[in-house]
Amino acid sequence: MLNICTIDSSAGMTVYSYSKLNCFLQCPRKFKLTYIDKVKTEIKETIEAFTGSRVHEVLRKLYKDLQYEKLNTLDDLIEYLKEQWYKKWDEGILITKREYTEENYLKMAERFIRDYYNRYYPFDQSRTIALEKKITVDLDSSKQYVIQGYIDRLAYREDGVYEIHDYKTGMNLPINEYLKEDKQLALYAIGVKDKYPDARDVRLIWHFLAFDKEVEISKTDEELEELKRETISLIDKIESCDEFPARISVLCDWCEYKPICGEWKHRIKLESKTLDDFSSDRGVKLVDKYTELIEKKEKILLELDREIERIRRELIDFAKGEGLDAVFGTRSKIRIISRERHAFPSKNDPRREELRKLIK
């Protein structure tokens, strides 16, 4: 989980969180609304974010209590989950998938905890160093570029390996190639290596709780140095940016700014209208008329193309019959050029297969 950091210009230092960088990459307009304009919305939180926060709280309790030699039972944790869920539930939370209810998501959260508990009990795979560990990452020697965030769980193994754990509650299971390109935990690895001199081997571990799956990778020092350069370049790009266009994607459905985004607010406005009001909307009328004219234009052009081709063939036949190289009209002339041209049969031409056999 990450905090939202601001730019500390007074100290000459540019401080970003990974979530801020990622927001810009996903949608520059959302970045502007969130971090520059600081627009507040009626949507406080999505159900996915709410579920993730509650599950993180349970896992934090599990490992915090273990640090004090208290091992919670699975029932203890499920009870704690429900207690926090109902205590913090708000009717303003957005459920984008309308076919599912709050209870469906609560049951999912219970399954995440149950699967995790059964998989890792008695939780002695490593020793926890810190939970929600604040980490700062200096990207350059002058400390002009700094990343700041929080590690879900930082741990240490008996063999000297440090572990950065990240808990994911989303319903997407990325492939390993995608995770190798993930920058968040890799940036934290830079910070861990800086803060702990003996951290020569740092493992990045994702727990995809919806699938009861763990993925672990590591980064070389060369890869981390390249990541520093890439991140500095991205920050420079953001700092110099003066246009922030919307980037339409599946993430729009979960965006709290969708109702005020120029890409979507007209559609959302139409959704609340009656059929008659919808049809009389000026925007709808203009789009429908524009679409009608474009379709009419394409139809006319197609008919003209067919007529042009017909006349072209007649011109060729006429010129051949009269032995002409040029045919004159009232305002122009057309030259008839005949040349031999070789071409391979198209993929739908039955002669294509014969050619393929000859080539072989």
- Position 177 scores a pLDDT of 66
Find the farthest-apart pair of alpha carbons in the chain and give their distance in angstroms, rounded: 105
> Mean pLDDT, the chain, as a whole number?
90
Residue 283, CA atoms < 13 Å, CB-side half-sphere: 9
- Position 350 scores a pLDDT of 73
162-168/145-156 β-pairing: antiparallel
The β-bridge partners of 148 are 136
- Position 133 scores a pLDDT of 92
Element (H, E) at 14: strand 14-16
CA angle 223, 227, 233 (to 5 degrees): 150
31: tokens are 């970045």
| Confidence check: pLDDT of 251 > 70 | yes
Residue 43 or residue 133, greater confidence: 133
Q: Of 78, 76, 61, 75, which Cα lies nearest the Cα of 131?
A: 61
Question: Of 55-69, 118-132, 278-292, which range is least confident?
Answer: 278-292
- Position 344 scores a pLDDT of 76
- Position 2 scores a pLDDT of 37
Q: What is the mean pLDDT of residues 196-200?
A: 92
**Model confidence, pTM:** 0.75
Residue type, 117: Y
- Is-contact 204 155, C-beta < 8 A? no
CA distance 105 to 86: 12
Ordered by start, the domain boundaries in the chain are: 282-359
Reading phi first (left if > 0) and then psi (alpha if -120 to 50, else beta), residue 334 is in beta
Query: How would you class 293 by CB atoms within 10 Å of its CB: exposed for 0-12, middle for 13-18, buried for 19 or more?
Result: exposed
Tens of pLDDT, residue by residue over 158-181, are 999 999 999 999 998 877 666 778
Query: Which stretches of 71-220 are assigned E, i.e. beta strand?
Result: 127-138, 145-156, 162-168, 202-208, 213-218
